[in-house]
Amino acid sequence: MKKLIYSLLAGVILMSSCKDQDLMNIDPNKPTQTHPQLLLTKIEWDTFRAYSGTSPLYATRMLVQTDGESEGQYFKWGRGNFDSYSSLRNVTKMIEEAGRINDNSYIALAKFFRAYYFYNLTLTFGDIPYNQALKGEDQTGYMPPVYDSQKTVFQGILKELDEANNMLKGLNVIIAGDIIYKGDAAKWRRLVNSFRLKVLMTLSKKENDNDLKVKEAFAQIVQSEPIFGNTEVDGDGQLIFLDQEGSRYPEFNSSGFGSGMFMASTFIEHLQNRKDPRLFLYCTQTKIGKEAGKAIDDFTSYEGGDPAAPYAETSIKAAAGKVSKVNDRFPSNPTNEPLVLMGYSEQEFIIAEGIVRNWISGDANQHYKNGVKASFKFYQTYVKGYEAYLTEEKANEYLAYPVNNFALSTTTAQKMEQIITQKYLRTFFQSGWSAFYDNLRTGYPEFRRPAGVTVPYRWIYPQSEYDNNRDNVSKAIETQFGAGNDKINQQVWWIK
């Protein structure tokens, strides 16, 4: 079945390499038609595979660079891009084609993908085009889209996710072209609702907003809607890779793992202090540790570079064999673990946080344990050669270790730090910028940074907006930050 699905994907990718521009630039006077299943396959592949690369790993103090100054490591990034709008054009086309054949299953999934892309776009910039975005193909006289407030965008995201959930309810069809859940609408519904919880938790600073009703919506989903359960690891919203052309892990054979990429000391210390065996599958022993004959599970044989230090200083330490590198399996294994867009482990940490915040009642400790155990189970299932370190028995031993024992936390701050830190530890080459946004929202875990450097809140709008939509982008900047203040250190609505 997997080979059949990926053969379909390969065909779609081959076709799309010739026709991407046709999908992105539909001529309203010469409409084209295609079955939405072909669009769905490409949309899923592009979305689940787009995990943001290594940039967030530098920003979240997991990696350091030794052969130059990483903009992520030193928080010196500039402009973002609107590339996601190109992906959204394919989603819009899928809605049109699904409407043509009267198939709501594709419209439901399209609403999820719209919510996912707009969620990431608004977290990247702040206010963005939403209500008027992607209207150019159905207008005879195209007008550049106005920007919607971030609050309006989040309201739209939550509305679309609610609509997707309701449309998937009771749907008894196999959704053709689906390479994530093989057409299982019930699994998609759980993913939609789990992602709704993530969006609502992102808005934790707006928990008292009467328009959003964040706490009430969160409670209703947990209590009344289907979400991920712990019965099967493949229930996660994830993309599994195969060792065949066009279906391999995105970092396979990547040149980015060369001489300059090393592990950050803060991340390694988090893992060492907790006696966390995920350390062994995330990175290598230091050269001197390995040459000394230390065992792979000897925590003292791992060390990182200071992410707040000048890169030249870390380079000297690395040249002396005292800094661990990223585990060789990432560029050398064509399959590795799946990329998880949203899964049970993350969901359980979100629910635990919701309980600590008094949004819902329940056992925060149990959900915290569920999150940790699910992460261990995920890596035990998919990362070969490390299974013995990640058994259920090892997970229980890990949770009993005092620093990992949630029951020993007595204050709200301690509980929050423990939940968010564990949520963070599972995001190595996973979850894009989620850990960075959690840090902006909660302050956990604490990120070491150079003296005098502040952590950015956003990215600068693309130059293309200044070239093609200057009036609207300028108005959005003035409304949010004051005229001319399109800067990365400007605080956006969701984090205030």
Within this chain, do residues 342 and 202 fall inside the same structural domain, yes or no? Answer: no
Within this chain, do residues 152 and 208 fall inside the same structural domain, yes or no? Answer: yes
Work out how many domains the chain is built from and give that number.
2
Within this chain, do residues 237 and 222 fall inside the same structural domain, yes or no? Answer: no
Which H/E stretch holds residue 340?
strand 339-342
| pLDDT score recorded for residue 256 | 81
| Rounded Cα distance, 223 and 231, in Å | 18
Tens of pLDDT, residue by residue over 232-242, are 666 899 999 99
Structural domain harbouring 151: 82-227+458-495
Within this chain, do residues 286 and 316 fall inside the same structural domain, yes or no? Answer: yes
Establish if 394 belongs to a structural domain: yes
**CATH number of the domain within which 247 lies:** 1.20.120.840
Residue 30 CA: distances (Å) to CA of 7, 25, 298? 30, 11, 65
Within this chain, do residues 255 and 394 fall inside the same structural domain, yes or no? Answer: yes
Establish if 240 belongs to a structural domain: yes
| Rounded Cα distance, 378 and 365, in Å | 20
Establish if 18 belongs to a structural domain: no
Within this chain, do residues 194 and 309 fall inside the same structural domain, yes or no? Answer: no
| pLDDT score recorded for residue 13 | 42
Establish if 165 belongs to a structural domain: yes
Establish if 430 belongs to a structural domain: yes
Structure tokens belonging to residue 403: 């620093």
Tens of pLDDT, residue by residue over 80-121, are 999 999 999 999 999 999 999 999 999 999 999 999 999 999
Structure tokens belonging to residue 384: 């070969």
Within this chain, do residues 422 and 360 fall inside the same structural domain, yes or no? Answer: yes
Within this chain, do residues 288 and 210 fall inside the same structural domain, yes or no? Answer: no
Cβ burial 75-93 (10 Å sphere, 16+ → b, else e)? bebeebebebbebbbbbbb
Within this chain, do residues 280 and 395 fall inside the same structural domain, yes or no? Answer: yes
Within this chain, do residues 444 and 489 fall inside the same structural domain, yes or no? Answer: no
Establish if 418 belongs to a structural domain: yes
Does 30 score more than 70 pLDDT? Answer: no
| pLDDT score recorded for residue 8 | 46
% of the chain surpassing 70 pLDDT: 91
Establish if 4 belongs to a structural domain: no
Within this chain, do residues 266 and 278 fall inside the same structural domain, yes or no? Answer: yes
Establish if 77 belongs to a structural domain: no
Cβ(249)–Cβ(336) below 8 Å: yes
**CATH number of the domain within which 190 lies:** 1.25.40.390
Tens of pLDDT, residue by residue over 280-327, are 999 999 999 999 999 999 999 999 999 999 999 999 999 999 999 999
| pLDDT score recorded for residue 182 | 96
Within this chain, do residues 376 and 431 fall inside the same structural domain, yes or no? Answer: yes
